[in-house]
Amino acid sequence: GENVGLHLPTLSVQEGDNSIINCAYSNSASDYFIWYKQESGKGPQFIIDIRSNMDKRQGQRVTVLLNKTVKHLSLQIAATQPGDSAVYFCAEKGGGTSYGKLTFGQGTILTVHP
């Protein structure tokens, strides 16, 4: 079946550094991707999304890159802050009859050291 996974389960960075979190997906029919941030005891918080007809999208301090050729998604966080420490999930929505349900990866733990 389809699978969305992450290359690195943990990432530690210093405050002020840029962070890159990677995600591989296997469903070439997926048409929509989202990055979520989840803090302990909270639900996932939307960060940024991208549709399959785009390869890059920028938000405030965050950029998502989509490489459909190799089925790879990444989240770049600029000037990482201690408040960015959390678990980050990528999620994909399959195309066709998959409606709106999302398939989530296992998550990457980001730790930002002051």
User: Contact residues for other proteins (CB under 8 A)?
Assistant: 4, 31-32, 34, 36, 41-46, 49, 51, 89, 91, 93, 99-107
CB-based contact 10:4 (threshold 8 Å): no
Residue closer to other proteins (CB basis): 80 or 107: 107
Q: How far is the CB of 114 from other proteins (least distance, A)?
A: 25
CA distance 78 to 62: 6
Q: How far is the CB of 53 from other proteins (least distance, A)?
A: 11
Residue closer to other proteins (CB basis): 36 or 77: 36
Buried b (16+ CB within 10 A) or exposed e, 46-79: ebbbbebeeeeeeeeebbbbbeeeebebbbbbee
Residue closer to other proteins (CB basis): 15 or 104: 104
Q: How far is the CB of 77 from other proteins (least distance, A)?
A: 18
CA distance 53 to 74: 16
